[in-house]
Amino acid sequence: METRIMEGGRHPFVYGQRLVDPDKPTVLFYGHYDVQPVEPLDAWASDPFKPIVRDARIYARGAGDNKGQLYAQLMGINATLRVRGELPLNVKCIFEGEEESGSPNLESFVRKNRGLLNADLAYTSDGPVHESGRPMVVFGVRGLLYVELTARGAERDLHSGNWGGPSPNPAWELVRLLGTMKGPEGRITIAGFYDSVRMPTKQEKAAFGRIPLNKTSVARSLGLRLSQIPDPEVFYRKLMAEPTLNIAGIYGGYTGKGSKTVIPSSASVKMDMRLVPDQHPDDIFRKFQAHVKLHAPGIEVKRMSSTPTSRTPLTSQFAKPIREAVKDATGMEPVVYPSLGATLPDYVFTTVLGIPSIIVPYANIDESNHAPNENIKIENFVRGMKCCAAVMENLSRVSV
């Protein structure tokens, strides 16, 4: 492949291409070569940066997230070249080194190199397969808006006896504000929050009900009652098609062991909002700010980070060829996910480049990504190579 190292952030982008026929489709493979820190190091059974095979698994930091899956793509491309003599379609690859820190420079890089990266489809392999062991074909991700609120009182913590009553308490001010953001049934009460929410399509609704869900296993793993776990259609609709407003952490005053009677000088809360099509972080942030200003104008609002949502229609012309390729390569019917509940920078493909994007994870469910003893099963690694080859073969027959 023709390759180059391209600057565009703290760490460079790696680009490669092999263009064989302008009349054939072009697929853009995305991945990332950066990894999470290895700590705690003493929890590893072997050196995290020296891959080792144990019990039919490859152990190393990045084995699953994302070096192993990225390399499976390259091996699938290489194997296809060796067997066929040439690729059946045009291939481009873009690998970044900042995904684990939120891909802060990916959007600007893609915008700047829109012509170079132009393709008919983006294809990513990251994350684990379904908990049932079946492969997944994923058509989107939820967006994210992360904020921090801070309420301030006196310049220092105060004795709650000497000052309790006449002195304001920032923690109570924060709690009162949070109480205005959700109704008793959990519906978000920020004005206009749901205005742009796109309703799931008929195909997406049907897919929600077909995704396997072991309610007993989920309840047991989370320590919840079985009655607290909804049926699959509702469970996955809430996970993929409905926005959230989450309190990620709240702090202020004394939170150590024992007791300390103080009125905190300040109190803060970190919140995240998972967004769905067609909500945009900028619009939701403005509405969030307006709500805070209405109910507690003295509270500071800080926008920490945001990522737009991304969705490719289940009816995309690339959907069926990829599903069939994954089935052929793995011997299993893939689980169709209209969207992950989590967030990835997938919007740079669907929104910035304006092309469909499909995610097919290769790693095992217990890959321990972001944790000690990260691994990928050799059978999953090999399946990844086969998936890549099969996907290219099937996509080459699509008319574009």
Domain map of the chain by residue range? 2-141+309-395, 143-199+241-307
Q: How far apart are CA 306 and CA 69, in angstroms?
A: 26
Residue 163 pLDDT level (bands cut at 50, 70, 90): very high
Burial group, residue 385, by CB count within 10 angstroms (0-12, 13-18, 19+): buried
Question: With 90 as the cut, is the pLDDT of residue 123 above it?
Answer: yes
CATH superfamily for 2-141+309-395 is Zn peptidases (3.40.630.10)
Residue 95 pLDDT level (bands cut at 50, 70, 90): very high
pLDDT at position 221? 86
E-strand stretches of 293-334: 300-307, 310-311
Q: How far apart are CA 55 and CA 37, in angstroms?
A: 24
Residue 9 pLDDT level (bands cut at 50, 70, 90): confident
Question: With 90 as the cut, is the pLDDT of residue 102 above it?
Answer: no
**How many percent of the chain have pLDDT more than 90?**
96
Produce one character per residue of 124-146: b if its CB has 16 or more CB atoms within 10 Å, e if not: bbbbbbbeeebbbbbbbbbbbbb
Residue 140 pLDDT level (bands cut at 50, 70, 90): very high
Please tell me the least confidently modeled range out of 86-90, 343-347, 387-391: 343-347
pLDDT in tens, 303-347: 999 999 999 999 999 999 999 999 999 999 999 999 999 999 999
Question: With 90 as the cut, is the pLDDT of residue 52 above it?
Answer: yes
pLDDT at position 128? 95
Q: How far apart are CA 298 and CA 172, in angstroms?
A: 13
Q: Which two tokens stand for residue 16?
A: 């490669």
CB-based contact 265:126 (threshold 8 Å): no
What mean pLDDT do residues 221-229 have? Answer: 92
Distances (CA, A) of 347 to 35, 75, 109, 161: 21, 26, 13, 53
pLDDT at position 197? 97
Q: What is the CATH number of domain 143-199+241-307?
A: 3.30.70.360
First to last CA, the chain: 23
pLDDT at position 37? 95
> What is the residue-averaged pLDDT of the chain?
96
Q: Is the dihedral of CA 340, 342, 347, 349 positive or negative?
A: negative
Distances (CA, A) of 106 to 99, 226, 342, 393: 8, 42, 18, 29
